[in-house]
Chains A and B, each alone.
Chain A
């Protein structure tokens, strides 16, 4: 069948299967229908629930301000799908174009979308991880369990890892007056995501809110009592912290196990795909019927040196799902790239934190508005003379501007004046990331244009 006819047929009566019935899966399905896909749509999800939203789980839900079973994602439109909820996909037959399910069923597809996201990385010592009171937070069920523990007035909650999730959990505990200890291997919270300069502000935020923050330490073991309840955590500095609840917030693992042996380029770092969301097979050759979106995806971003970015960002899941859905039912000439500028937000200790771009690529940072001491500021990250990212504490409304600067590859340091520039913001300082291991002398790619319609990638070869 010629390509054009094929796509017409696909749109009319093709079979599309989505594995992973959460944010990316749902938004993709909605986009497919909005763009006129009239064939059959199957949504496969191992959780027994309709798609729900995760960000509230570490925020309003832990505070008891939102019920965990009331976080369903709002629907943009009907999707007329066959739902296979509560059953996991266990394998993929690429040649036969089928997805195998845990209940033995096989679902054939013409186009497949992989949106299986990530899961919380468990405490590595299995026996200790089994202790009663040791939790993680990724799913609605996790949130219900953790909320119940918090309501039972624990003597202390011990959080391992001071990334965004760990910090938000600590914040929720303090909000309810629960004593909390946070242990972090780096020298401050959020260092991996935002660097040491911002990490120092985050550390103050923890301490001012009464968190017992222990940095530069590792948790060496969890100790249980005679009936298998956790009772203490042991740290590398020899200290022991007694606690009733331990929350393991050590980041996430990609849900790619089910793809083992399928021939896809899938592994612990995710499923690699091109900027058009098409998955690579293990040989590095791009497929044309398997697409990827959301937290499980790893895709090259032209604005960021074509690095394969894995983003655990809500906004990325939505944008990538929309692009994937469009490309799944479009001929190659109509395909569009996923050029989303990464953006992430968090709220903790009453502060709204938001970042755009890829802060961890930044080698230097400049506080262009506000002040670190007041914890209300915008910080801009520079990389090889370009603006590469920005972060704001309680100053979200300016970030759109910096996003444009990132897209345009605007020069760094930021020489021009800005409103509310303080003396501290005149010079860049090292951003202080633990291990900057980034390529140098790449070509420069920027986004130009005034409106989304006339956005254009501009490629400038490297100068040596």
Chain B
């Protein structure tokens, strides 16, 4: 071979700004396996969809026997037991049910909707905070602080502790970058480990307190659950809290940032959104297809040999489900490379599918709809300072590191 393998080119940092031509190349070989012990990359919409419902596919790392470390695999080295995103049924189902009973219908039907006012307040404050600046960084000033504040409120972290909480989350999130993860002694990694210990102790204290004096928040519900599945153990509550924190953080940041970037590249929609905030619903769905924050699911395996498009994927092999490639599969979506929020048919893979499909989807949608509508309404004459913007290292949770905008001001 004269040049690097396709999968390596995809994960290579130089592809980050626009991986889509590579995904197109990838789809030409629907099941691509380039190197011994390397992953089997699946990129067609229908294949991904079917594997996500296939009971021979596992999310449990214990079934993954392919040797070697995958630079994209599990960031969750927290010392806690695996959270439900890395478990198979029945454990997965039990934990997700308990978590769900404190998050949505039928037990807490209003948990998300009643957050709406709170979400609007948080975004409004962040945008107010831009002040008189004529150049802003959308990531650091809005997209990044927003979801972490939301998750604090949801879990029930007291207001006065939020700054401390965020100070621990920042290094943990920074350490998610695969680049730095290869070197456990890198300062980022050490900082993250330290922060995890601190965060873990803090959460443990909070959970104990909520076990004694429950309030109307998720931690109280998780630890005090009295449904048919009982409650979670202390360790399970901690893993779940950390999962919610991490799964809901970088993803939402990137959806908001990708959203603003895409809207600035398609100003007619920014204009329409300014006039009609209701359009944010369709815009967010199309963004989840067109620029999905989770580009691929890298940690699946199969518990027996499976056959797909004539290729046998051996038991224990690593399987990548390349959601972002499936989302632009012309076999599924007409004119897939066009950003078109008016599409009638929008069953994207942005939140995955099957039993692990995104738990936080209703919240993520609402957060992003509110953020984009508010930004469209209030930023006066936003312009990209550089296009493409600088990206984060991470190929899985892909998004800009900064999004510098020049603005003429902030409308009231």
Q: Which residues of A contact B (CB under 8 A)?
A: 368-370, 374, 376, 378, 397-401, 404, 416-420, 450-451, 453
Closest Cβ of chain A: how far from B43's Cβ, in Å?
Answer: 12
User: Is B56's CB under 8 angstroms from A450's CB?
Assistant: no
Which one of A417, A418, A419, A450 has the greatest number of beta carbons of chain B within 10 Å?
A: A419
Nearest neighbor of B309 in chain A, beta-carbon distance: A450
Closest Cβ of chain B: how far from A441's Cβ, in Å?
Answer: 28
Which residues of A sit under 8 angstroms from B309, Cβ to Cβ? Answer: 450
Pick the residue among A369, A404, A416, A420 that contacts B304 (CB under 8 A).
A416
Nearest neighbor of B308 in chain A, beta-carbon distance: A450
Given contacts A398-B355, A419-B88, A451-B331, contact A369 B50 (CB under 8 A): no
Which residues of B sit under 8 angstroms from A404, Cβ to Cβ? Answer: 50
Given contacts A398-B355, A400-B50, contact A419 B93 (CB under 8 A): no
Which residues of B sit under 8 angstroms from A369, Cβ to Cβ? Answer: 55, 89
Q: Once the chains are docked, how many angstroms separate the CA of A251 from the CA of B309?
A: 43
Which one of B44, B46, B309 has the greatest number of beta carbons of chain A within 10 Å?
A: B46
Which residues of B sit under 8 angstroms from A450, Cβ to Cβ? Answer: 30, 44, 46-47, 309
A-B contacts, 6 of them at CB < 8 A, read A369-B55, A374-B90, A401-B53, A418-B56, A419-B58, A450-B46
Known interface pairs A418-B303, A450-B47, A451-B332; 13 further A-B residue pairs with C-beta atoms within 8 A, sorted by A's residue number: A369-B55, A376-B90, A397-B53, A397-B354, A398-B55, A400-B53, A401-B53, A404-B50, A416-B56, A419-B55, A419-B56, A420-B89, A420-B90
Pick the residue among B46, B89, B303, B355 that contacts A417 (CB under 8 A).
B303
Which residues of B sit under 8 angstroms from A418, Cβ to Cβ? Answer: 55-56, 303
User: Is B332's CB under 8 angstroms from A368's CB?
Assistant: no
Q: Once the chains are docked, how many angstroms separate the CA of A356 from the CA of B336?
A: 31
Nearest neighbor of B329 in chain A, beta-carbon distance: A451
User: Is B331's CB under 8 angstroms from A453's CB?
Assistant: yes
Given contacts A397-B53, A450-B309, contact A370 B89 (CB under 8 A): yes
Closest Cβ of chain B: how far from A407's Cβ, in Å?
Answer: 11
Q: Once the chains are docked, how many angstroms separate the CA of A420 from the CA of B303?
A: 11
Q: Is B226 located at the chain interface by the 8 A CB criterion?
A: no
| Main secondary structure on A side of the interface with B | mixed
Pick the residue among B50, B90, B304 that contacts A370 (CB under 8 A).
B90
Which residues of A sit under 8 angstroms from B355, Cβ to Cβ? Answer: 397-398
Q: Is B54 located at the chain interface by the 8 A CB criterion?
A: yes
Q: Once the chains are docked, how many angstroms separate the CA of A416 from the CA of B45?
A: 24
Given contacts A401-B54, A418-B55, A419-B55, contact A451 B303 (CB under 8 A): no
Nearest neighbor of A421 in chain B, beta-carbon distance: B55
User: Is A419's CB under 8 angstroms from B331's CB?
Assistant: no
User: Is A368's CB under 8 angstroms from B55's CB?
Assistant: yes
Closest Cβ of chain A: how far from B116's Cβ, in Å?
Answer: 22
User: Is A398's CB under 8 angstroms from B53's CB?
Assistant: yes
Which residues of A sit under 8 angstroms from B50, Cβ to Cβ? Answer: 400-401, 404
Which residues of B sit under 8 angstroms from A368, Cβ to Cβ? Answer: 55
The A-contacting residues of B in range 347-399, CB under 8 angstroms, are 354-355, 357
Q: Once the chains are docked, how many angstroms separate the CA of A450 from the CA of B329?
A: 13
Nearest neighbor of B54 in chain A, beta-carbon distance: A401
Closest Cβ of chain B: how far from A153's Cβ, in Å?
Answer: 25
Which residues of B sit under 8 angstroms from A419, Cβ to Cβ? Answer: 55-58, 88-89, 303
| Main secondary structure on B side of the interface with A | loop
Pick the residue among B46, B53, B88, B354 that contacts A420 (CB under 8 A).
B88
Closest Cβ of chain B: how far from A38's Cβ, in Å?
Answer: 21
Q: Once the chains are docked, how many angstroms separate the CA of A358 from the CA of B45?
A: 28
Q: Once the chains are docked, how many angstroms separate the CA of A102 from the CA of B64?
A: 68
Residues 226-263 of B, flagged 1 when their CB comes within 8 A of A and 0 if not, give 00000000000000000000000000000000000000
Closest CB pairs A-B (n = 4): A418-B55, A420-B89, A400-B53, A419-B88
User: Is B55's CB under 8 angstroms from A376's CB?
Assistant: no
Q: Once the chains are docked, how many angstroms separate the CA of A368 from the CA of B304?
A: 14
Closest Cβ of chain A: how far from B44's Cβ, in Å?
Answer: 7
Nearest neighbor of A401 in chain B, beta-carbon distance: B53
Residues 79-105 of B, flagged 1 when their CB comes within 8 A of A and 0 if not, give 000000000111001000000000000
Which residues of A sit under 8 angstroms from B49, Cβ to Cβ? Answer: 400
Residues 291-313 of B, flagged 1 when their CB comes within 8 A of A and 0 if not, give 00000000000011000010000
Q: Once the chains are docked, how many angstroms separate the CA of A400 from the CA of B51?
A: 10
Q: Once the chains are docked, how many angstroms separate the CA of A191 from the CA of B354?
A: 29
Q: Once the chains are docked, how many angstroms separate the CA of A397 from the CA of B55?
A: 10
Q: Once the chains are docked, how many angstroms separate the CA of A135 from the CA of B49?
A: 44
Q: Once the chains are docked, how many angstroms separate the CA of A451 from the CA of B47?
A: 8
Closest Cβ of chain B: how far from A77's Cβ, in Å?
Answer: 10
Nearest neighbor of A400 in chain B, beta-carbon distance: B53
Q: Once the chains are docked, how many angstroms separate the CA of A86 from the CA of B367?
A: 47
Which residues of B sit under 8 angstroms from A397, Cβ to Cβ? Answer: 53, 354-355, 357
Which residues of A sit under 8 angstroms from B332, Cβ to Cβ? Answer: 451
Closest Cβ of chain A: how far from B98's Cβ, in Å?
Answer: 14
Nearest neighbor of B353 in chain A, beta-carbon distance: A397
Q: Once the chains are docked, how many angstroms separate the CA of A150 from the CA of B332?
A: 48
Which residues of A sit under 8 angstroms from B90, Cβ to Cβ? Answer: 370, 374, 376, 420
User: Is A417's CB under 8 angstroms from B47's CB?
Assistant: no
User: Is A376's CB under 8 angstroms from B93's CB?
Assistant: yes
Q: Once the chains are docked, how many angstroms separate the CA of A404 from the CA of B49?
A: 12
Which residues of B sit under 8 angstroms from A417, Cβ to Cβ? Answer: 56, 303-304
Which residues of A sit under 8 angstroms from B88, Cβ to Cβ? Answer: 419-420
Closest Cβ of chain A: how far from B7's Cβ, in Å?
Answer: 21
The A-contacting residues of B in range 301-341, CB under 8 angstroms, are 303-304, 309, 331-332
Closest Cβ of chain A: how far from B78's Cβ, in Å?
Answer: 24
Which one of B53, B55, B89, B309 has the greatest number of beta carbons of chain A within 10 Å?
A: B55
Closest Cβ of chain B: how far from A394's Cβ, in Å?
Answer: 9
Q: Once the chains are docked, how many angstroms separate the CA of A369 from the CA of B56?
A: 11
Q: Once the chains are docked, how many angstroms separate the CA of A418 from the CA of B55?
A: 5
Nearest neighbor of B355 in chain A, beta-carbon distance: A397
Q: Once the chains are docked, how many angstroms separate the CA of A397 from the CA of B44?
A: 20
Q: Once the chains are docked, how many angstroms separate the CA of A411 from the CA of B50?
A: 18
Which residues of B sit under 8 angstroms from A398, Cβ to Cβ? Answer: 53, 55, 354-355
Which residues of A sit under 8 angstroms from B54, Cβ to Cβ? Answer: 401
Which residues of A sit under 8 angstroms from B30, Cβ to Cβ? Answer: 450
Q: Once the chains are docked, how many angstroms separate the CA of A420 from the CA of B93?
A: 10
Which residues of A sit under 8 angstroms from B56, Cβ to Cβ? Answer: 416-419
Q: Once the chains are docked, how many angstroms separate the CA of A237 from the CA of B134?
A: 86
Q: Once the chains are docked, how many angstroms separate the CA of A370 from the CA of B94?
A: 12
Q: Once the chains are docked, how many angstroms separate the CA of A419 from the CA of B55?
A: 5
Which residues of A sit under 8 angstroms from B303, Cβ to Cβ? Answer: 417-419
Residues 22-55 of B, flagged 1 when their CB comes within 8 A of A and 0 if not, give 0000000010000000000000111101100111
Closest Cβ of chain B: how far from A417's Cβ, in Å?
Answer: 5
Nearest neighbor of A414 in chain B, beta-carbon distance: B55
Q: Once the chains are docked, how many angstroms separate the CA of A418 from the CA of B93?
A: 15
